[in-house]
Structure 1
Amino acid sequence: MQYKRLGHSDLEISRIGFGCMSLKAGNADTQQLLQQAVEAGINFFDTADLYEKGLNEERVGEALRPFRNMIILATKVGNQWREDGSGWDWNPRKEYILAAVDKSLARLKTDYIDLYQLHGGTIEDRADETIEAFEILKDQGKIRYYGISSIRPNVIRTYLQKSHITSVMMQYSLLDRRPEEEMLNLLKESGVGVLVRGTVAGGLLIDKEPVNYLQHSAETVKKAAAAMREVSTNGRHPVQSSICYALMHQAVTSAVVGIRTREQLEEALATIESPSLNEDEFRHLQSVVPLIRYQEHR
């Protein structure tokens, strides 16, 4: 496994992170799967209090408890489930964050969270209040670092200007090149680590039937998948090529891959052993899929 420091923190995280959202209830192999990931060198595990109304945190916390001193545990806050369970509401308020962290700590069976992330964000939020909550939690020792999960340029800029965020998690793939327009370079210059998700575009870059995706037509999606197959040589599967694409930019610290089976774990791990994309392959992929501009939240 390869490791890279996350932003200005002292967290050395695996280039392949384990996205725990895909882990489902009733899967008896979850504990074994997470253990195998640790044994293979993955040390970054990402969940959220939103997933399965906290049950995901419970499952991850129980499975990883024997390895707590070997791993970097990340979770998210900001989406508050309604009491009737009918859905959730956005809540980045200080009081909510300070209360929610204790529930996450209990579910994760730990007394500290390595990376606590705001699970979204809007420009209308009282960012100063949210940042104050994170800073309080750092002072209390309940979290080591904090970041945000957002692709919105105006939200990211706000936190870069006002806070000490360590990381930004964002969707990034050949079919979603929006971060390339400005944010990746800005975050690199700011010394903030980037965690990318959605690197296979929900399977559209691998084997799913082409459909319209973001501002791309199904025909463009089809061409993107074909191009990904074209560059998948020397034993590199399109899964690995897709992840390699997202890891190419120097701003990117880790690709957080959604994993729920042993096969998916092995496919993700094989990225590290696979040859990286060369410059010609990278440019060829970019030539097939146009760069789209994030229209809102500028």
Structure 2
Amino acid sequence: MNKLNNYKKLGKSEIEVSPVSFGCMSLGADQAQNEYLLRQAFEQGINFFDTADLYQKGENEKSVGKALKNIRKQVIIASKVGNQWRPDGSGWDWNPTKAYILQAVEKSLQRLQTDYLDLYLLHGGTLNDPIDETIEAFELLKEQGKIREYGISSIRPNVIREYVKRSHIASVMMQYSLLDRRPEETCLDLLQENQISVLARGSLAQGLLAGKTPKEYLSYSSLEVEKMAKAVAQSTNQNINAAAVAVKYVLGNAAVTTAVLGIRTEAQLKDALQVLHTSPLPTETRQDLARVLPPNIYDQHR
């Protein structure tokens, strides 16, 4: 692997991750294609791969495990827990209990063909959860060596604050983009102060910042979305396209350790690698982009 010098530590841990990580959720059913993309990403500097037991009912973990088995010690694998499939497969229910987490991790390890996870994330979370019990489960798994670090995937400031207060989370995965700047209000500063890594997802806002037809997004009208997409397009140059500009904006926030990009095609991998191998956005460009629209804020779960 072409290891770059801009890898960052995950929280206070010794784990180092690439500034762009491979979101495996988008992978299809073609194992040969999946292996090609995952190995190409690894060869060119991406060392962090994110999956979940929920994706394709566990088939995603199986595909990733098979592809990365021979280089397991050289990669960082994250998976997620908390969504329990119903026996009839009709959907899933939220289950953040200790008993379920301890049972689910065994199945994830089996599917990923590994005896440990580098990072295990709670795949959601509410204030009604048995939070202390959930934390106990993750701490026990750390003691047992089944996981190296744990965190949560959440966009809820009130839930994030509880985990910051009560646990030793290494990271929080959250949606963050030029069209979703809600984390800038309080979450990013709080996490940075506590040396907890932000794993940013949704940096392209469903592709709206990378050329998709404008439509309403969160509190923004389609006209506002179009205005932001144009500003992003105008910030490109011969080295960096619109997708890379949008992701670079997110990575320009000091709280963000890595941008998790969903990859299922060679074109998407190429975009991800462009982000990885080009310079940060100039501060002035970031400031200009931030001024295009008034930032949105959380109206729930504050």
TM, length-normalised to structure 1: 0.98
Q: 1:260 and 1:15 mapped to 2: Cα distance?
A: 19
Mapping for residues 1-298 of structure 1, pairs under 5 Å: 1=4, 2-26=6-30, 28-298=32-302
**Per the alignment, in what secondary structure is the counterpart of residue 97 of structure 1?**
helix
- Tell me by how many angstroms 1:69 deviates: 0.7
- CA–CA distance in structure 1, aligned partners of residues 236 and 91 of structure 2: 41
Unpaired segments of 5 or more residues in structure 2? none
Q: Check the 8 A contact 2:118/2:149 in 1, yes or no.
A: yes
The residue identity in structure 2 corresponding to 1:163 is S
Deviation by residue 1:55-83 (Cα, 9 ceiling, x = unmatched): 00000000000110100010000000001
The structural deviation recorded for 1:27 is 5.1
Q: Would you say the 8 A contact 1:243–1:255 is kept in 2?
A: yes
Superimposed CA distance per residue, residues 220-245 of structure 1 (whole angstroms, 9 cap, x where no aligned partner): 00001000011112421001101100
Aligned Cα RMSD in Å?
A: 0.9
Equivalent pair of 2:227/2:292 in contact (CA under 8 Å): yes
Count residues in correspondence.
298
CA contact (8 A) 1:3 1:15 kept: yes
Q: Helix, strand or coil: the match of 1:206?
A: coil
Counterpart of 1:188 in 2: which secondary structure?
helix
* Cα pair 1:236 1:275 within 8 Å, conserved: no
Aligned counterparts of 2:270 and 2:295: Cα–Cα separation in 1:
31
| CA distance in 2: counterparts of 1:6 and 1:73, whole angstroms | 12
Question: Residues 34 and 63 of structure 1 are in contact (CA less than 8 Å); yes or no, is this contact kept in structure 2?
Answer: yes
Measure, in 1, the Cα distance between the counterparts of 2:256 and 2:21.
12
Task: Kindly provide the CA deviation profile for residues 193-251 of structure 1, in whole angstroms up to 9, marking residues without a partner as x.
Answer: 11001111110001111110000100000001000011112421001101100100111
- Deviation by residue 1:136-169 (Cα, 9 ceiling, x = unmatched): 1111111010000001001000000000000000
Q: CA deviation at 1:97?
A: 0.3
Shift of 1:24: 1.0
Could you tell me how far apart the structure 2 residues matched to 1:276 and 1:60 are?
30
Offset from partner CA, 1:229-276 (integer Å, 9 cap, x none):
111124210011011001001110001110011221111111133232
Structure 1 runs not aligned, ≥5 long? none
Partner Cα distance (1:34, 1:167) in 2: 23
What CA distance in whole angstroms lies between the structure 1 residues aligned with 2:48 and 2:217? Answer: 29
| Distance change >3 Å, CA 141–CA 27, structure 1 → 2 | closer
Q: Tell me, in whole angstroms, the C-alpha distance in 2 between the residues paired with 1:235 and 1:17.
A: 20
- How far apart, in 2, do the equivalents of 1:27 and 1:201 lie? 27
Q: State the alpha-carbon separation in 1 of the partners of residues 293 and 246 from structure 2.
A: 13
SS in 1 for 2:291: helix
Q: Which moved more, 1:284-293 or 1:60-69?
A: 284-293
